[in-house]
Homo-oligomer: A and B are copies of this chain.
Amino acid sequence: MTPHYAVIMAGGSGTRFWPASRRNRPKQLLSFGGAEVSLLEATVRRILPLVPAERIIVVTAERLLVDTKESLRTVPGVRVMAEPAPRNTAPCVGWAASVISDEAPDATVMVLPSDHAIGDEPSFLEAIGIAMASATSGSITTIGIVPTRPETGYGYIELPRPAEAKIAMPVSRFVEKPNLETAKQFLIGGKHLWNAGMFFFRASDMLTAIASHLPALATGLETMREARQAGNEAESVTRIFPTLPSISLDHGVLEKQAGLAVVPGDFGWNDVGSWQSAWELADKDEHHNSLPPGTVSVDARGNLVVQSTGSQTPKLIALVGVHDLCVVETEDAILIIPKDRAQDVRSVIEHIEKSGRDELL
Protein backbone atom coordinates (compact mmCIF):
# COMPACT_ATOMS: atom_id res chain seq x y z
CA MET A 1 0.00 0.00 0.00
CA THR A 2 1.21 3.46 -0.91
CA PRO A 3 2.27 5.36 2.21
CA HIS A 4 -0.04 8.18 3.27
CA TYR A 5 1.34 11.55 4.30
CA ALA A 6 -0.37 14.66 5.56
CA VAL A 7 0.76 18.25 5.10
CA ILE A 8 -0.90 20.76 7.43
CA MET A 9 -0.62 24.35 6.28
CA ALA A 10 -0.16 26.42 9.41
CA GLY A 11 1.61 29.59 8.31
CA GLY A 12 -1.43 31.85 8.37
CA SER A 13 -1.45 35.09 10.24
CA GLY A 14 -5.13 36.00 10.20
CA THR A 15 -6.24 39.18 11.84
CA ARG A 16 -9.92 38.36 11.96
CA PHE A 17 -9.76 37.23 15.56
CA TRP A 18 -8.09 40.33 16.92
CA PRO A 19 -7.55 40.97 19.77
CA ALA A 20 -7.30 37.24 20.58
CA SER A 21 -5.26 36.57 17.44
CA ARG A 22 -2.05 38.51 16.96
CA ARG A 23 0.79 38.47 14.49
CA ASN A 24 2.52 35.87 16.62
CA ARG A 25 -0.62 34.10 17.83
CA PRO A 26 -2.66 33.42 14.70
CA LYS A 27 -6.01 31.70 14.58
CA GLN A 28 -4.66 28.14 14.21
CA LEU A 29 -3.00 28.46 17.63
CA LEU A 30 -6.27 29.49 19.30
CA SER A 31 -9.05 27.23 20.50
CA PHE A 32 -12.74 27.71 19.80
CA GLY A 33 -16.10 26.29 20.73
CA GLY A 34 -15.01 25.28 24.20
CA ALA A 35 -12.21 23.04 22.84
CA GLU A 36 -9.22 22.47 25.08
CA VAL A 37 -6.84 22.31 22.14
CA SER A 38 -5.87 24.68 19.37
CA LEU A 39 -7.38 24.36 15.89
CA LEU A 40 -3.96 23.13 14.73
CA GLU A 41 -3.69 20.43 17.36
CA ALA A 42 -7.30 19.39 16.65
CA THR A 43 -6.50 19.15 12.93
CA VAL A 44 -3.52 16.90 13.60
CA ARG A 45 -5.36 14.71 16.10
CA ARG A 46 -8.31 14.34 13.74
CA ILE A 47 -6.23 12.60 11.07
CA LEU A 48 -4.18 10.37 13.36
CA PRO A 49 -6.53 7.41 12.55
CA LEU A 50 -5.37 7.70 8.92
CA VAL A 51 -1.76 8.93 9.12
CA PRO A 52 0.86 8.15 11.76
CA ALA A 53 2.36 11.21 13.47
CA GLU A 54 5.74 10.59 11.82
CA ARG A 55 4.18 11.16 8.40
CA ILE A 56 2.41 14.36 9.37
CA ILE A 57 4.27 17.51 8.35
CA VAL A 58 3.15 20.88 9.65
CA VAL A 59 4.39 23.80 7.56
CA THR A 60 4.46 27.11 9.36
CA ALA A 61 6.26 30.46 9.29
CA GLU A 62 9.65 30.88 10.96
CA ARG A 63 8.36 33.45 13.44
CA LEU A 64 5.62 30.99 14.51
CA LEU A 65 7.96 28.01 14.85
CA VAL A 66 8.34 27.98 18.63
CA ASP A 67 4.65 28.49 19.37
CA THR A 68 3.65 25.97 16.71
CA LYS A 69 5.91 23.30 18.21
CA GLU A 70 4.57 24.15 21.65
CA SER A 71 1.00 23.72 20.39
CA LEU A 72 1.95 20.22 19.15
CA ARG A 73 3.86 19.18 22.28
CA THR A 74 1.25 16.54 23.12
CA VAL A 75 1.46 14.88 19.68
CA PRO A 76 5.04 13.66 19.56
CA GLY A 77 6.54 12.68 16.24
CA VAL A 78 4.86 15.33 14.10
CA ARG A 79 7.42 17.20 11.99
CA VAL A 80 7.37 20.97 11.65
CA MET A 81 8.88 22.76 8.65
CA ALA A 82 9.30 26.54 8.70
CA GLU A 83 9.03 28.81 5.68
CA PRO A 84 11.52 31.67 5.88
CA ALA A 85 9.05 33.94 4.04
CA PRO A 86 5.37 33.69 3.11
CA ARG A 87 5.01 32.69 -0.56
CA ASN A 88 1.37 31.56 -0.61
CA THR A 89 0.38 27.89 -0.95
CA ALA A 90 2.01 26.64 -4.16
CA PRO A 91 5.63 26.86 -2.87
CA CYS A 92 4.51 25.44 0.49
CA VAL A 93 2.83 22.41 -1.08
CA GLY A 94 5.59 21.97 -3.63
CA TRP A 95 8.32 21.98 -0.98
CA ALA A 96 6.43 19.45 1.15
CA ALA A 97 5.74 17.23 -1.89
CA SER A 98 9.41 17.34 -2.78
CA VAL A 99 10.52 16.38 0.75
CA ILE A 100 7.98 13.56 0.86
CA SER A 101 8.87 12.20 -2.57
CA ASP A 102 12.52 11.91 -1.50
CA GLU A 103 11.43 9.88 1.47
CA ALA A 104 8.72 7.78 -0.20
CA PRO A 105 8.57 8.17 -3.99
CA ASP A 106 5.17 6.46 -4.17
CA ALA A 107 3.57 8.51 -1.34
CA THR A 108 0.03 9.84 -1.51
CA VAL A 109 -0.38 13.17 0.25
CA MET A 110 -3.29 15.04 1.81
CA VAL A 111 -2.93 18.80 2.24
CA LEU A 112 -5.19 20.32 4.87
CA PRO A 113 -5.65 23.79 6.33
CA SER A 114 -4.82 24.00 10.03
CA ASP A 115 -7.56 26.40 11.04
CA HIS A 116 -10.92 24.89 10.24
CA ALA A 117 -13.41 23.10 12.49
CA ILE A 118 -15.10 19.81 11.62
CA GLY A 119 -18.36 18.83 13.29
CA ASP A 120 -18.73 15.24 12.07
CA GLU A 121 -15.32 13.61 12.19
CA PRO A 122 -16.35 10.10 11.00
CA SER A 123 -17.88 11.58 7.83
CA PHE A 124 -14.80 13.76 7.39
CA LEU A 125 -12.47 10.76 7.62
CA GLU A 126 -14.66 8.83 5.22
CA ALA A 127 -14.47 11.65 2.65
CA ILE A 128 -10.69 11.79 3.09
CA GLY A 129 -10.49 8.05 2.48
CA ILE A 130 -12.36 8.42 -0.81
CA ALA A 131 -10.21 11.41 -1.83
CA MET A 132 -6.96 9.58 -1.00
CA ALA A 133 -8.10 6.58 -3.07
CA SER A 134 -8.86 8.90 -5.98
CA ALA A 135 -5.45 10.53 -5.59
CA THR A 136 -3.68 7.19 -5.41
CA SER A 137 -5.27 6.24 -8.72
CA GLY A 138 -3.66 9.32 -10.30
CA SER A 139 -6.15 12.22 -10.09
CA ILE A 140 -5.27 15.32 -8.18
CA THR A 141 -8.33 15.49 -5.96
CA THR A 142 -10.00 17.97 -3.67
CA ILE A 143 -12.87 17.87 -1.22
CA GLY A 144 -15.65 20.36 -1.95
CA ILE A 145 -18.07 21.30 0.80
CA VAL A 146 -21.78 20.98 0.05
CA PRO A 147 -23.06 24.56 0.50
CA THR A 148 -25.61 25.32 3.22
CA ARG A 149 -26.14 29.00 2.41
CA PRO A 150 -25.53 31.38 -0.53
CA GLU A 151 -22.05 32.31 0.69
CA THR A 152 -20.24 35.03 -1.25
CA GLY A 153 -17.01 34.79 0.68
CA TYR A 154 -15.71 31.50 -0.75
CA GLY A 155 -14.55 30.24 -4.12
CA TYR A 156 -16.60 27.40 -5.62
CA ILE A 157 -15.85 24.20 -7.52
CA GLU A 158 -18.21 23.44 -10.37
CA LEU A 159 -19.33 19.91 -11.23
CA PRO A 160 -20.80 18.68 -14.52
CA ARG A 161 -23.85 17.38 -12.64
CA PRO A 162 -25.36 17.71 -9.17
CA ALA A 163 -23.14 16.47 -6.39
CA GLU A 164 -23.42 12.90 -5.14
CA ALA A 165 -22.18 11.75 -1.77
CA LYS A 166 -19.16 9.51 -1.20
CA ILE A 167 -17.73 9.43 -4.71
CA ALA A 168 -14.99 11.30 -6.51
CA MET A 169 -16.52 13.36 -9.32
CA PRO A 170 -14.84 15.27 -12.16
CA VAL A 171 -14.18 18.99 -11.69
CA SER A 172 -15.60 21.22 -14.46
CA ARG A 173 -13.87 24.40 -13.26
CA PHE A 174 -12.96 26.61 -10.33
CA VAL A 175 -15.23 29.65 -9.80
CA GLU A 176 -14.16 32.87 -8.07
CA LYS A 177 -16.21 34.28 -5.18
CA PRO A 178 -19.67 34.89 -6.69
CA ASN A 179 -22.11 37.72 -6.08
CA LEU A 180 -25.19 36.97 -3.98
CA GLU A 181 -27.50 36.27 -6.92
CA THR A 182 -25.05 33.79 -8.41
CA ALA A 183 -24.44 32.21 -5.02
CA LYS A 184 -28.18 31.66 -4.63
CA GLN A 185 -28.33 29.95 -8.03
CA PHE A 186 -25.35 27.76 -7.04
CA LEU A 187 -27.17 26.74 -3.88
CA ILE A 188 -30.32 25.76 -5.79
CA GLY A 189 -28.51 24.06 -8.67
CA GLY A 190 -26.52 21.62 -6.53
CA LYS A 191 -23.59 21.59 -8.95
CA HIS A 192 -21.31 23.87 -6.94
CA LEU A 193 -19.23 23.08 -3.89
CA TRP A 194 -17.20 25.34 -1.58
CA ASN A 195 -13.45 25.21 -2.13
CA ALA A 196 -12.13 24.43 1.34
CA GLY A 197 -8.44 24.23 0.47
CA MET A 198 -8.05 20.47 0.95
CA PHE A 199 -5.96 18.68 -1.68
CA PHE A 200 -4.99 15.05 -2.30
CA PHE A 201 -2.37 13.78 -4.73
CA ARG A 202 0.54 11.48 -5.31
CA ALA A 203 3.68 13.47 -4.53
CA SER A 204 5.02 12.64 -7.98
CA ASP A 205 1.83 13.89 -9.68
CA MET A 206 2.04 17.23 -7.88
CA LEU A 207 5.69 17.71 -8.79
CA THR A 208 4.87 16.90 -12.42
CA ALA A 209 1.97 19.38 -12.39
CA ILE A 210 4.21 22.08 -10.90
CA ALA A 211 6.83 21.41 -13.55
CA SER A 212 4.14 21.90 -16.24
CA HIS A 213 2.46 25.01 -14.86
CA LEU A 214 5.03 26.73 -12.65
CA PRO A 215 8.46 25.90 -14.06
CA ALA A 216 10.17 28.61 -11.98
CA LEU A 217 8.84 26.97 -8.84
CA ALA A 218 9.93 23.55 -10.09
CA THR A 219 13.46 24.84 -10.64
CA GLY A 220 13.63 26.33 -7.16
CA LEU A 221 12.32 23.14 -5.60
CA GLU A 222 14.91 21.13 -7.50
CA THR A 223 17.72 23.38 -6.21
CA MET A 224 16.47 22.92 -2.68
CA ARG A 225 16.22 19.17 -3.21
CA GLU A 226 19.86 18.95 -4.34
CA ALA A 227 20.96 20.94 -1.30
CA ARG A 228 18.87 18.72 0.95
CA GLN A 229 20.49 15.60 -0.47
CA ALA A 230 23.89 17.24 0.03
CA GLY A 231 23.03 18.01 3.67
CA ASN A 232 22.69 21.78 3.15
CA GLU A 233 18.95 22.13 3.32
CA ALA A 234 18.71 24.92 5.88
CA GLU A 235 20.99 27.30 4.04
CA SER A 236 19.31 26.53 0.74
CA VAL A 237 15.78 27.05 2.05
CA THR A 238 16.77 30.37 3.59
CA ARG A 239 18.27 31.49 0.30
CA ILE A 240 15.89 29.97 -2.28
CA PHE A 241 12.46 29.87 -0.67
CA PRO A 242 11.97 33.65 -0.51
CA THR A 243 12.65 33.83 -4.26
CA LEU A 244 9.98 31.28 -5.24
CA PRO A 245 6.92 32.64 -7.09
CA SER A 246 4.27 33.75 -4.61
CA ILE A 247 1.08 32.13 -5.88
CA SER A 248 -1.69 29.93 -4.61
CA LEU A 249 -1.90 26.25 -5.53
CA ASP A 250 -5.39 26.91 -6.93
CA HIS A 251 -4.35 29.67 -9.32
CA GLY A 252 -0.86 28.43 -10.08
CA VAL A 253 -1.55 24.76 -10.66
CA LEU A 254 -5.05 23.40 -10.17
CA GLU A 255 -6.96 25.79 -12.43
CA LYS A 256 -4.60 24.85 -15.26
CA GLN A 257 -4.61 21.13 -14.59
CA ALA A 258 -6.87 18.69 -16.47
CA GLY A 259 -8.45 15.63 -14.88
CA LEU A 260 -9.07 16.98 -11.39
CA ALA A 261 -11.49 15.16 -9.14
CA VAL A 262 -13.57 16.36 -6.22
CA VAL A 263 -15.27 14.48 -3.39
CA PRO A 264 -18.42 16.25 -2.12
CA GLY A 265 -18.18 16.60 1.64
CA ASP A 266 -20.89 17.25 4.19
CA PHE A 267 -19.39 16.96 7.66
CA GLY A 268 -20.14 20.13 9.59
CA TRP A 269 -17.24 22.07 8.11
CA ASN A 270 -16.69 25.56 9.49
CA ASP A 271 -13.87 27.78 8.33
CA VAL A 272 -13.88 29.66 11.66
CA GLY A 273 -13.71 32.81 9.61
CA SER A 274 -14.81 35.40 12.14
CA TRP A 275 -16.13 35.95 15.65
CA GLN A 276 -19.55 35.19 14.13
CA SER A 277 -18.30 31.67 13.29
CA ALA A 278 -16.80 31.34 16.75
CA TRP A 279 -20.22 32.08 18.24
CA GLU A 280 -21.79 29.49 15.92
CA LEU A 281 -19.30 26.87 17.11
CA ALA A 282 -19.61 27.70 20.79
CA ASP A 283 -21.83 26.09 23.40
CA LYS A 284 -24.64 28.50 24.18
CA ASP A 285 -27.11 29.05 26.99
CA GLU A 286 -30.90 29.26 26.62
CA HIS A 287 -30.58 32.88 25.53
CA HIS A 288 -28.09 31.93 22.80
CA ASN A 289 -25.25 33.55 24.70
CA SER A 290 -21.80 31.99 24.88
CA LEU A 291 -20.33 33.38 28.09
CA PRO A 292 -17.41 32.53 30.37
CA PRO A 293 -18.38 31.26 33.83
CA GLY A 294 -19.28 34.10 36.17
CA THR A 295 -20.38 36.51 33.45
CA VAL A 296 -23.45 38.46 34.55
CA SER A 297 -26.06 38.61 31.84
CA VAL A 298 -29.37 40.48 32.22
CA ASP A 299 -31.83 40.52 29.33
CA ALA A 300 -28.97 39.85 26.92
CA ARG A 301 -29.29 37.51 23.95
CA GLY A 302 -27.13 36.05 21.22
CA ASN A 303 -23.84 37.39 22.57
CA LEU A 304 -20.37 35.91 22.49
CA VAL A 305 -17.96 36.81 25.29
CA VAL A 306 -14.38 35.58 25.03
CA GLN A 307 -11.76 36.17 27.69
CA SER A 308 -8.20 35.34 26.77
CA THR A 309 -6.21 37.23 29.36
CA GLY A 310 -3.19 34.99 29.82
CA SER A 311 -1.89 35.21 33.35
CA GLN A 312 -4.21 38.10 34.25
CA THR A 313 -7.37 37.44 36.23
CA PRO A 314 -10.19 37.92 33.75
CA LYS A 315 -12.50 40.76 34.74
CA LEU A 316 -16.12 40.17 35.61
CA ILE A 317 -18.08 41.04 32.49
CA ALA A 318 -21.65 42.27 32.94
CA LEU A 319 -23.95 42.53 29.94
CA VAL A 320 -27.30 44.25 30.33
CA GLY A 321 -29.82 44.58 27.53
CA VAL A 322 -27.39 43.97 24.67
CA HIS A 323 -27.92 41.55 21.82
CA ASP A 324 -25.81 39.81 19.20
CA LEU A 325 -22.54 41.39 20.31
CA CYS A 326 -19.06 39.94 20.43
CA VAL A 327 -17.03 41.06 23.43
CA VAL A 328 -13.41 39.95 23.55
CA GLU A 329 -11.09 40.74 26.45
CA THR A 330 -7.38 40.05 26.21
CA GLU A 331 -4.43 41.15 28.30
CA ASP A 332 -4.26 44.52 26.61
CA ALA A 333 -7.47 45.10 24.67
CA ILE A 334 -11.25 44.89 24.67
CA LEU A 335 -13.19 44.56 21.41
CA ILE A 336 -16.92 45.23 21.19
CA ILE A 337 -18.53 44.54 17.82
CA PRO A 338 -21.89 43.24 16.61
CA LYS A 339 -21.68 39.66 15.35
CA ASP A 340 -22.89 40.71 11.93
CA ARG A 341 -20.10 43.28 11.66
CA ALA A 342 -17.41 40.77 12.65
CA GLN A 343 -15.62 41.10 9.31
CA ASP A 344 -14.93 44.73 10.20
CA VAL A 345 -12.34 43.78 12.78
CA ARG A 346 -9.95 44.56 9.97
CA SER A 347 -10.83 48.26 10.33
CA VAL A 348 -9.56 48.13 13.89
CA ILE A 349 -6.30 46.62 12.69
CA GLU A 350 -5.95 49.44 10.16
CA HIS A 351 -6.51 52.06 12.87
CA ILE A 352 -3.92 50.47 15.10
CA GLU A 353 -1.43 50.21 12.24
CA LYS A 354 -1.90 53.90 11.49
CA SER A 355 -1.49 54.85 15.13
CA GLY A 356 1.81 52.96 15.27
CA ARG A 357 0.85 50.88 18.31
CA ASP A 358 2.44 47.77 16.86
CA GLU A 359 2.49 46.00 20.21
CA LEU A 360 -1.27 45.59 19.81
CA LEU A 361 -1.01 43.77 16.46
Residues of A within 8 A of B (CB): 19, 294, 296, 298-299, 313, 315-322, 325, 327, 329-338, 341, 344-345, 347-348, 351-352, 355, 357, 360
Contact = CB atoms under 8 A, between A and B. Distances in A.
A44 B347 CA distance: 45
Taken together, the copies of this chain in the complex come to: 2
B332 A316 contact: yes
A348 B318 contact: yes
A351 to B, nearest CB: 5
B322 A352 contact: no
A116 to B, nearest CB: 25
B348 A296 contact: yes
A273 B320 CA distance: 18
25 contacts: A296-B352, A298-B347, A298-B351, A299-B341, A299-B344, A313-B332, A315-B330, A315-B331, A316-B333, A316-B352, A316-B357, A317-B333, A317-B334, A318-B333, A318-B334, A319-B336, A320-B345, A320-B348, A321-B338, A322-B325, A322-B336, A322-B338, A325-B336, A327-B334, A336-B336
A320 B337 contact: yes
Contacts of A19: 316, 318
Contacts of A313: 332
A322 B325 CA distance: 9
A335 B348 contact: no
A126 B146 CA distance: 76
Nearest to A351: B296
Per CB-CB distance, the 7 closest pairs between chain A and chain B, nearest first, are A321-B341, A320-B337, A316-B333, A298-B347, A318-B348, A296-B351, A318-B335
Contact of A320 (B299, B315, B344): B344
